[in-house]
Amino acid sequence: MADAASARAMTREERKVVFASSLGTVFEWYDFYLYGALAAIIARQFFSPLDAGSAFIFALLAFAAGFIVRPFGALLFGWLGDIIGRKYTFLVTMLIMGLSTFIVGILPTYDSIGVAAPVILIGLRLLQGLAMGGEYTGAAIYVAEHAPHGRRGAYTAWIQTTATLGLLMSLLVILGTRTLVGEGAFAQWGWRIPFLVSIVLLGVSVWIRLSLDESPAFRRMKAQGRTSVAPVSESFGRWANLRVALLALVGLTAGQAVVWYTGQFYALFFLTQQLQVDATTAQLMVAAALVIGMPFFIVFGALSDRWGRKPIIMLGCVLAAATYFPAFKALAWAANPALVDAQARSSVVVVADPQGCSFQFNPTGASRFTTPCDMAKRILASYSVSYQTDPTGQPGQAVVRIGATDIPVPPAQGLAPDEARRAAASFRQAVDRALALHGYPTQADPERIHAPLVVAILSYLMVLVAMVYGPLAAMLVEMFPTRIRYTSMSLPYHLGNGWFGGLLPPMSFAIAAQTGDIYSGLWYPVVIAGLTALCGTLLLRETRNVDIHASDRPHGPHRSGR
């Protein structure tokens, strides 16, 4: 029966289900990722009182806020999805997402309404995160429960393309708007247009989703009176089900999340922030890699129906952990060779007492990094300069050594405010002159960017994303029974992607700022992907031949497909 199902073509009704579910989810991901694609501008508009480096990290933390609440949205909308059905639940999530995105487009900036601006912005990000906590899972389950046995990997792979398509759409709309209004106008007010466009996409999405029927698996279970009356407690209050959810988190979604966000978001931020590539150029190269990489979601999803979900996902995590450092170093050489040459030729050292050096991760914005060591690190990070730390400095003092040039950092105490500002400005100018003298570029030279090689490296990162993400929805659906599937699947997926994935950009940049090595932030995804590969290989079993309609018992690591 499975072979016959695998051989036949997709029916018209199945095509409608896949198309409508995928298109609506693309629009939701577009809304969610607009903020990430515009993080640098958001930092200037809503966190302007902070210095540039802190403002960017704080903007990334506001971006991460939407990810942090996704597990709570997963519980809320997972409960609704298992109680009232899949269709109406992701209609609600769509309305919340679309309206929140539109409001960002009309939200006054910090200069207009002060601290209320970032507070409201973070509130809107929280609403978006809650909505995304229910949207993706509902769409993936809806398609999987319509798919024939033996084709779930191929069918749900279309849903897996939607996050990347949403990111691609956001980049294309941003690039189009930049071109239309000009860079200066875009930075001032044009950035709002992509957010405002979302109201049109919301109308189209709601119209499409209203034309769909409820999932046949849920309809059948409801008709038989076997729906769960307490899906949250049944999912996580019973060890048999909780164990499967925990294994799904540590053995699947945590590693998948860091690979996804490294390959798509961190790569973009690394190009623009660390390698100083012009934002438009970086977005064009990332967009090209997204186009090249997207078909691989379908390829790996379909292959998982033949080879199994587990080996493809685990291989993707292993390759990511093993190759991220060489891949990003090659990316630096291809995108900004002058920076790589300068770092090899003239090293930068911060000579300071370690007691005066703080870990520059400031999620609340309350910390003030004012010691000489902190000032030196902050300014070097703003220039995207890798540096080493020499712990032999005198207490309360710091020196920046660029090649053979020593630049004392002005003292943190004992100066009047005006004197302190002048001293800091003089120090920055001295650092700027020394870096220029030793060949450090202020931005990547467009003439020296090896664009085909950059796109090839970004495409390789996209293939890794497709390996871990393409088969994922099918495997998660197969691990949980229909009566609690929405709730049980939502939480490990959104814990992995919301917390492990969403915190990747700010954590990685904070690690890089602390260590002085622009590549050290990669340890975050490398370690998590490696641990997921280890746990998944040892603890998970294959699920591709599980019949998701066969019983009301959870399928997963304790039950092997044949």
Helix then strand then coil, % of the chain, to nearest 5: 75, 5, 25
pLDDT tens-digit map of 92-136: 887 888 888 899 899 998 888 888 888 888 888 888 888 877 777
- Residue among 328, 361, 278, 339 at smallest CA distance from 56: 361
- The amino acid that residue 357 corresponds to is C
Q: What is the pLDDT, as a whole number, of residue 117?
A: 86
Does the pLDDT at position 368 exceed 70? no
Q: What is the pLDDT, as a whole number, of residue 14?
A: 64
In this predicted model, which residue has the larger pLDDT, 10 or 135?
A: 135
Q: What is the pLDDT, as a whole number, of residue 515?
A: 81
Q: What is the pLDDT, as a whole number, of residue 263?
A: 92
In this predicted model, which residue has the larger pLDDT, 235 or 401?
A: 401
Residues listed for the chain: 562
Instruction: Summarize the confidence of residues 359-364 as an average pLDDT.
Output: 51
pLDDT tens-digit map of 512-557: 877 888 899 999 999 999 999 999 999 998 988 887 766 444 444 4
Structure tokens, 150 = 């033996």
pLDDT band for position 366 (cuts 50, 70, 90): very low
Q: What is the pLDDT, as a whole number, of residue 469?
A: 94
Q: What is the pLDDT, as a whole number, of residue 540?
A: 92
Lowest mean pLDDT: which of 228-232, 267-271, 483-487?
Answer: 228-232
Q: What is the pLDDT, as a whole number, of residue 562?
A: 35
Going by their DSSP bridges, the two strands 388-390 and 398-402 should be labelled as unpaired
pLDDT band for position 292 (cuts 50, 70, 90): very high
Structure tokens, 472 = 């994922």
pLDDT tens-digit map of 215-237: 665 666 666 666 666 667 776 77
- Residue among 134, 34, 140 at smallest CA distance from 91: 134
Does the pLDDT at position 390 exceed 60? yes
Instruction: Summarize the confidence of residues 159-171 as an average pLDDT.
Output: 85
- Residue among 233, 131, 136, 94 at smallest CA distance from 489: 136
Instruction: Summarize the confidence of residues 177-189 as an average pLDDT.
Output: 90
Q: What is the pLDDT, as a whole number, of residue 2?
A: 46
- Residue among 223, 137, 227, 218 at smallest CA distance from 477: 137
Per-chain mean pLDDT for the chain:
82
Residue 97: Cβ within 10 Å count: 29
Q: In whole angstroms, how far apart are CA 557 and each of 144, 148, 304, 478, 531?
A: 19, 22, 17, 10, 17
pLDDT tens-digit map of 226-268: 666 666 777 677 887 888 889 999 999 999 999 998 998 899 8
pLDDT tens-digit map of 19-65: 777 776 787 678 767 877 787 788 888 887 766 666 776 777 777 77
Structure tokens, 309 = 């979900």
Strand-pairing partners, residue 431, are none
Q: What is the pLDDT, as a whole number, of residue 561?
A: 39
Does the pLDDT at position 423 exceed 90? no
In this predicted model, which residue has the larger pLDDT, 358 or 350?
A: 350
Rounded to an integer, what distance in angstroms lies between the CA atom of residue 159 and that of residue 132? Answer: 14
Rounded to an integer, what distance in angstroms lies between the CA atom of residue 161 and that of residue 292? Answer: 12
DSSP-derived letter for residue 562 is -
Residue 561, SS3 per DSSP: coil
pLDDT band for position 289 (cuts 50, 70, 90): very high
Q: What is the pLDDT, as a whole number, of residue 37?
A: 75
Q: What is the pLDDT, as a whole number, of residue 375?
A: 81
- What is the distance of C-alpha 165 from the center of its chain? 14
pLDDT band for position 151 (cuts 50, 70, 90): confident
The pTM assigned to this predicted structure is: 0.80
pLDDT tens-digit map of 334-357: 999 999 998 888 889 999 888 777
Q: What is the DSSP string of 66-86?
A: HHHTHHHHHHHHHHHHHHT-H
Rounded to an integer, what distance in angstroms lies between the CA atom of residue 168 and that of residue 33? Answer: 9
Q: What is the pLDDT, as a whole number, of residue 181?
A: 92
Structure tokens, 356 = 């005066």
pLDDT tens-digit map of 371-387: 888 888 878 877 778 88
Structure tokens, 409 = 């950092």
Lowest mean pLDDT: which of 21-30, 236-245, 448-457, 458-467?
Answer: 21-30
Q: What is the DSSP string of 3-32?
A: HHHHHSPPPHHHHHHHHHHHHHHHHHHHHH
Residue reference for tokens 């609704």: 80
pLDDT tens-digit map of 427-447: 889 999 999 998 889 889 999
Q: In whole angstroms, how far apart are CA 61 and each of 58, 404, 496, 504, 505?
A: 5, 37, 17, 10, 8
Q: In whole angstroms, how far apart are CA 294 and each of 70, 165, 272, 474?
A: 25, 8, 22, 18
Please list, in sequence order, all residues whose beta carbon lies within 8 angstroms of the beta carbon of residue 99, skipping any fewer than 6 positions away.
Answer: 202
Does the pLDDT at position 195 exceed 60? yes
